[in-house]
Structure 1
């Protein structure tokens, strides 16, 4: 006949010697205790941790102990579910034998696996961001490939912008008191600036006022009439 109490006492002493810093007895009847299990530290120093609580049942190890995750750090909900499923599988495979060390070892390996998966996922996300940044840089450098579709779309927007600009200009001119011009008149005005300039010069020439006070009386000028080149009326230049 199996002495369950004796087997449980012997295993408890062994577990305490194996995990002296993470083993804590919570109750004697029934015997309940916790063992804290941590993964190996990741490169960034972050690890995952689980405190497992076990409670012996009367017929342990022929019946599996009770267990739960008493506390945890950095475990996601999915990770917790996987750890509990793993404990169930290991307990079923080891019925009839003391199994606490086996269960704890399996959980520790699982935590290491979780850390590795997190590391791989982070590296993949980093690579993906780098690829997206490279693609964005290529698009920025190469520009957008012109197709019939995007050209027509651009042309439609451009024409709307130009139409709005002309309306705004016409409105400003109306507000300034200028007569409203037709599109043809605006075109002709823009293309006859040279004619307008000539007309301006002609109008200016016809309305020039001369200040005679700026000129001396010819009789007041000290001129040498004996000079052979003296020609006050400019006759010589006319003959040339």
Structure 2
């Protein structure tokens, strides 16, 4: 004689170990079943893959063993926890009852759970994929893109002038100090030009042909702001010395 109670207890212990948090015992008044026996609910979620559940769709598979289970089909009820219509629950319940009838004589609850997960995935995987895309698009639309100051010709020219000034400053920092000396600072005064020895080559012919050996040129070394170039002054003086008409004066 079959010990139905023992078989039912063994199945419940196995379901607890396999399903863990998805499995719970509920009060008969919460089951929606016409029974006073122990009732249980198994939470079934849409599976994105073999390990990660997606809680956008969830249902509760409620069952209770009859006195002669598994030689009789269990009492079954389905509850929508999230995202499943009453018509979908009716379709799934008919499917599970048909499968239970085909498995009489052996523990079948876990098999019904597996079939329920497969059905939910086939029924809602595409719909939730579209939902995720729409939700992602909506989130992007909610992003506020900050706007800066509008660009005009005037603001662009002001920016470019500032940029070029900063660029020139950066380039100046890279140059050696000798390159930063101005042309005026590099130019020799008349006195410095003579003292450097450059005058000897140009003045030698003049000195040999001149009777005014004591004649000298007075340069104002302190007149740094004179508009007349000192080298031009020297050239003018030498030209006069070379002119024969000026000799003997």
TM, length-normalised to structure 2:
0.44
